[in-house]
Structure 1
Amino acid sequence: MPQELKRYISHLEYSKVEGKGPKLNFNKVDSHIYKVDVSWDLQKDINLSSLYLNIYPNFNPTFHWAPHLTPTDNHIIAQHVFRSPAMIVQDKRKSISIIPDVTLLEKKPVVPWYLDLNASENVMTIGQANSKITDHVLYEKEDKTHFSKGIYTLSFYVLFSSDQRNIENPFASVNSFMWQKWGSPFYAKGEPFSKNNLDSYVDYTYQWAFNHWRDAVWQEFDLNDRRVGAPTFIVNVTQSPNYREETNEREFRSIWNQAWFNSLRSASGLFRYAKRKGVDSLLSYANQTKELALSFPQINGFFPGLIGTEMVDVDINGKKYRRSAGWDTYYFGNSNRNPFTWDPKTSPYHILDMSYTAMLMLDWYSELEKDERLLNYSKSYAESLLRIQRPDGYFPAWLSLEDQKDMEILSKSPESAMSVSFLLKLYEVLHDEKYKNAALKALSVIEDEIVPIGKWEDFETYWSCSRYGHDSLVDKKLVRNNMFKQNTLSIYYVAHAFMEAYRVTNEQAYLMKGQRVMDELLMWQAVWQPSFIYIHALGGFGVMNADAEWNDSRQSLFAELIMEYGKELNRKDYMERGISALKASFVMMYSPENIETKEQWQRRWPFLGEKDYGFMMENYGHDGRTDSNGIGIGEFTIYDWGNGAAAEAVNRVIDHWGPNFMDKW
């Protein structure tokens, strides 16, 4: 091992096969990077637990980061989650990052690669082994993996530094290296696709929702003497006009104004599009959704996050199908993705959902039309929000329905950052210092207590489909990894809040702190095209360190913020990343432009046809598996967390940046 690496790495351990170790080769890339190649020459077929190389730092790190959790010695970080694969460890003086050379994975390896970060034993591992999926979604090594006779090579880069800037921002140099090495060259080749005009994707979205699938998607009814409407929360392939059997609704029919699925967000994009294109019918749809949002009742300023219908089971030829009982049976409720109940009728108020919806109202008021009702509704909520701010600066996460009291779970979490952004936006409109002061107080405690330790916990982290740790890890690190279970939404909320604080105060410190958070968020973005991902991957985002999605719909939410940081920091790489994220938002769409994706859809659901153009699953590889025959493709579209959300992002960016913004980068 080179002498300068010995300042950072005490020793290496590796698999020996029949007493023989691998060949190791160290090549210096620059003053702070080495490339290491490790090769085993197997003389015969053999079954092994794995081939591996262990890397032991020669210091005791206090900070650890890896893209996936490995709770036990048998858990691994499977190559399926290698979006921006790296392991980072550091103390106050030294930092080491291990980055697999994914160039070797652009062709599918005979045996999959994996990583592991064991903070308890102070060791980082890169290896090869087959794995199985446990929980949702963690990976464990198979007991034995078959290695055929031949040469097996692992390659990785070691980035090492004692520069204080790298200690303060552990992710900046890693991100820059990976984007320069892989991301930017793929972007220059036209990934995730070369098309810069996204109008056709937006057109497919609105044709799908308001024409071909209108009967299934669009919901319209009278509420408090107003005609209101919005696309339903979710539809599945059985609701396709090309499906010839009975329809079965996947979840209760509903319309959500929540941090994920927000009908007002999608409607604002539709409003922008309708105004730009002069389409009165679409403008009417957007305005009906605005009217619906304003119809949600406020109690002491707080308001519910969804409206739903009762559901019934219908028996047809001996089979039961779930159907809506109609909007005459409507009720208001809240997101059932919470730690208390799966029943939306009894789910508590969620501050995050309310702050996000109220901020969208202010955006509509500031940018689209001066409807004073939007401002008054938001202000009423803001006054109540200020009253419940905790003495430490945080805002509670959930409030009880009965008396709107703090329910004391995630009450000190980065979800508060959305309330920061909302209050700063309200300050920009009303210029009342109390909103700014409350916001900056909350941002200060988030900066001090959340950011340094990566405590990225929010509602999705534990109470969605990936429930690992909901009963044992809330507010706690997983000891073996020295990491919290982490979710990208809360990282985004904080990066957004810092950008809003920078805009309001013009203080450079907020921009720099936001950049550090943004760099952490970008560690979840795909920077290459894996051989085992059968759709275009560049620019797409993952969800959390215990889940497996690629190209998740959150990338449409993230895209413009990445671009904003790129503009303020004069960073071409950020601009490329933001545009890649925006394009990736449409990669999962069933449409003729997406040749590879369309093929995967048709292999999974052969009945899809032209009337289904615009149908779009929210992500790919959700269950941790993919193959070339449609495994990894889902069955549903959430308009407000899929095609409608992606269309909104495009329409917003066009309004803010101009129609030809991509051509500049």
Structure 2
Amino acid sequence: MSQKKIWNDAADPFVKSVTYDWLGPYEPTLERQELDGRLTHVTLSFSLEEQVPQDDWQLQIMPAFAPKFHWAPHLTPTDNHIIDQHCFRSPALIVHDERQWLAVIPDLDLLAAGTPVRWYMDMDAGRNMLTLGMSNYKVTEHVLFEKAEGAVYPPGEVRIGFYIMKCDLDSIANPWRPVLAFLWDRWGGKLFRQGAPKVAPLERYVEHTYRWAFENWADSVWQEFELDGVKVGAPAFIVDVSQSPNYPGIPSEREARSIWNQAWFNSLRSAQGLYRYGTSKGNEELVRRALMTKELALAAPLSNGVFPAVIGTEMETLQIDGQTVNRSKGWGTSFWGNSNRNPIHPWGSLRDAPYHVLDMSWTALLMLRWYEELERDERLLAYAEAYAERLLALQDEKGYFPAWLNKSTLEPYEILKDSPETSLSVTFLLKLYEMKKDGKYLTAALKAMDIVMAEVVPDGRWEDFETYWSCCPYGNGRVGSKVPRNNMYKQCNFSIYWTAEALLQCYLATGRQRYVSVGERCMDELLMTQASWQPPYIYVEALGGFGVMNCDGEWNDSRQSLFAELIVRYGIELDRTEYIERGIAALRASFVMMYCPENEKTKIQWEKAHPFFTERDYGFMMENYGHEGATNPEGRGMGRFTIYDWGNGAAAEAYLRMRERYGDVLRERYGQSLSRGEERR
């Protein structure tokens, strides 16, 4: 395979060389355009006279300096791993040392025009090499991508291109801002202002959600029972397509029937949306159900300042017509427990799972929000204060809050004892300080924030429960260590979000500029996981949707409904239109995966994946798209389940909360509507 250099300027302090392969016997024609002092565009065009089989084609860029910092959208732990175009949400490779900053950005116009072979990127920190390539791929583990054999280029023109961006480090505030601004200016912002992601007025999706949960699918979704003489209720944690009223087979429950008040799936969060909606519509039944969910949260036994996050039922396995199915034994068998997404009993029993400080801090924060924004139920404030006293006692000398507590002894476990999960507890304590004006909460919160700023943020150590103990176990034997080939930690954007939120709250509480400056850096790192364009190989609306981590495959993940408000808040605080647009795009993307007639592209994909769906399923919404690293026009990537509290119910809450809190200022100051068309109030 022939190679040639197209960049060999010894005087260039940023790029030492750019070397490319030929395609078979064909050498490309090159076009290099200097767009401004810091941006160069390069295109390579091959004119093939016959079919060319070639497993791998590469273009390699070697920086002229030795970077200390490396960032890529996905991990490539070996030479055979690649960052397939499936992960090109806001695609870039970024490196810098103390003086120079360099980024490589694929030309998304060329990629959007269609390519005979998939594109990829790679970053080898040890060899100081940044790669743009073309190859087939395969998914290994969950989710890493590797090169695969069999790529074939048909006769005709093959084009691939990229941008090189470079500047002195002291001219930028953080390593992601120039890339994000470029991506939004060239692609995302234009699409947003043209109407992407394409959705209907958002209240229609709220109506679909509540009709689905409390009418059409109510037999499977809504759970109502009595605890110690008090009527409680909430939507089930998860329901499967086999529980559809239209399913032609035998229904089976995917996981234990349960209700969660955890960092992802939190019924108390969704209930706040239901309360707002029911109150605004004069719908007493919806308000009643929201209040029952509040009662369930308050029923969680508070002991020594800690409380469980999950209530579940005993399950049984049955044989029905030769099929093995899972069924609940009913709420008469209920028990309290915690999330089984943990390192102590991974995916084990809910009953035996350890207490998770993160889950408790989030639920307690939601109690304070309910008290402040919806109704002054003094029990909520008292419950949160009791937990706060225990939380303060758990803070270590450096300022961190631990992740997990032994269920029997309540002693902290060592694992993730110094993680950015701490940041959510900061936000909780600052809210309590705002309400009670007790300085001990502020002191503890700032001490925690300062250590996260010092030890987590600069190195990108975004390790939390989801990073290792959700669906992607890669790397859980090396917590606290970087992937050497990439000089990066395995990272989850959940903890970036908590930290960005906590930093904004620290700034608002103290007025200290350094908090919002570091918060902006975290916000931009978070936004590198947001889709800044619409790929042709993603068969639903994608602009504004989020991925999850640098070792997974999701598009349009439900966390975007949680992130949207914070992005808009930063936009208002910093008066940045890009953030406003990105936040609104994230909110609208939160409804893209819903099965309903308003989502034309998504509806087609759902019916290809599950042909039995009818109007009785309108409102069903998978939590993400393309989770396993692959999509196609025939419905691959659509999934099989809905988590109300991490999907349609959460999205409805986000819209209703943001409309109430920010709708007027966005219209009056920025001329923006959270929704589409006229909203019915």
TM-score by length of 2: 0.95
Distance across 1 between alignment mates of 2:61 and 2:385: 55
- The answer to whether 1:229 aligns with 2:233 is yes
Q: Name the CA distance, whole Å, in 2 between partners of 1:449 and 1:647.
A: 36
Task: Pick one of 32, 38, 50 that aligns with 1:32.
Answer: 38
Measure, in 2, the Cα distance between the counterparts of 1:108 and 1:469: 34
Q: Deviations over 1:148-205 (max 9, x none)?
A: 3333221111110104142x5000111001000100010011000164x311000100
Overall identity of the aligned pairs, in %: 53
Distance 1:298 1:32, change over 3 A: same
Give the Cα–Cα distance (whole angstroms) in 2 for the partners of residues 256 and 617 of structure 1: 18
In the other structure, the counterpart of 1:331 is 335
Which secondary structure state, in structure 2, belongs to the residue aligned with residue 130 of structure 1?
A: strand
C-alpha distance in 1, partners of 2:282/2:177? Answer: 44
- Matched residue type, 1:603: K
- 8 Å contact kept, 1:237–1:635: yes
* Alpha-carbon distance between aligned partners in 1 of 2:532 and 2:281, rounded to the nearest angstrom: 34
State yes or no: 1:277 paired with 2:284.
no
Matched, 1:578 2:578: no
> Does 2:129 align with 1:129?
no
- C-alpha displacement at 1:23, in angstroms? 2.9
Do 1:2 and 1:26's aligned partners in 2 also have CA atoms closer than 8 Å?
A: no
Q: Which moved more, 1:244-253 or 1:555-564?
A: 244-253
Q: Deviations over 1:490-539 (max 9, x none)?
A: 00000000111112112222111111100000001101111100000000
Letter in 2 for 1:487: C
Does residue 164 (structure 1) correspond to residue 165 (structure 2)? The answer is no
In structure 1, what is the Cα distance between the partners aligned to 2:665 and 2:439?
A: 38
Given the alignment, which residue of 563, 568, 583 partners 1:563?
568
Unaligned runs of 5+ residues in structure 2 are 1-6, 673-681
**2:123–2:486 Cα contact (<8 Å) kept:** yes
Structure 1 length-normalised TM: 0.98
Are residue 191 (structure 1) and residue 196 (structure 2) matched?
yes
Q: Give the secondary-structure state (helix, strand or coil) at the position aligned to 1:524.
A: coil
Q: For 2:315, which of 311, 314, 325 is the aligned residue?
A: 311
Task: Report Cα offsets for 1:581-601 as digits up to 9, x if no partner.
Answer: 000000000011000100100
Deviations for 1:305-354, whole angstroms, at most 9, x for unmatched residues?
Answer: 10000001122122221110000000111100011112211110001000
Match of 2:441 among 435, 440, 443: 435
**Higher mean displacement: 239-248 or 552-561:** 239-248
Q: Secondary structure at the match of 1:452?
A: coil
Q: Secondary structure at the match of 2:484?
A: coil
Matched, 1:302 2:309: no
Say whether the 8 Å CA contact 1:588–1:619 is kept in structure 2.
yes
Tell me, in whole angstroms, the C-alpha distance in 2 between the residues paired with 1:35 and 1:2: 16
2:557 aligns with: 552
Distance 1:215 1:158 in 2: 56
Query: CA shift at 1:224, angstroms?
Result: 1.6
Match of 2:369 in 1: 363
Give the alignment's Cα RMSD to 1 decimal: 1.4
SS in 1 for 2:254: coil
**CA 1:18–1:527 in 2, change beyond 3 Å: closer, same or farther?**
closer
How far apart in 1 are the matches of 2:455 and 2:155? 52
Matched AA of 1:331: F
Paired residues of 2:24 and 2:54 also in contact (CA < 8 A): no
> How many angstroms does 1:45 deviate by?
2.4
Q: How far apart are residue 20 of structure 1 and its match?
A: 5.3
1:297–1:194 distance in 2 versus 1, CA, 3 Å: closer
**Matches for 1:524-539 after TM superposition, within 5 Å:** 524-539=529-544
Deviation of the 1:44 alpha carbon: 3.2
Deviation at 1:660, TM superposition (A): 8.8
**Does 2:671 align with 1:664?**
yes
* Contact kept in structure 2, 1:216 and 1:239, CA below 8 Å: yes
- Name the CA distance, whole Å, in 2 between partners of 1:5 and 1:57: 12
Does residue 72 (structure 1) correspond to residue 73 (structure 2)? The answer is no
Give the letter aligned to residue 419 of structure 1.
S
Separation in 2, partners of 1:340, 1:143: 40
Q: Determine if contact 1:14/1:22 at 8 Å carries over to the other structure.
A: no
Residues of 1 paired with 2:8 and 2:178: CA distance?
A: 21
Q: Which deviates the most, 320-329 or 17-26?
A: 17-26
Alignment correspondent of 2:181 = 176
**Does 1:247 pair with 2:251?**
yes
SS of residue paired to 2:391: helix
Do the aligned partners of 2:19 and 2:59 also contact (CA within 8 Å) in 1? yes
- Residue 219 of structure 1, aligned match among 216, 223, 231: 223
**Alpha carbons 1:302, 1:384 under 8 Å: kept:** yes
Aligned residues: 662
SS of equivalent to 2:458: helix
Q: 1:451 to 1:165 in 2, by over 3 A?
A: farther
CA distance in 2, matches of 1:215, 1:355: 31
Q: Paired residue for 1:259?
A: 263
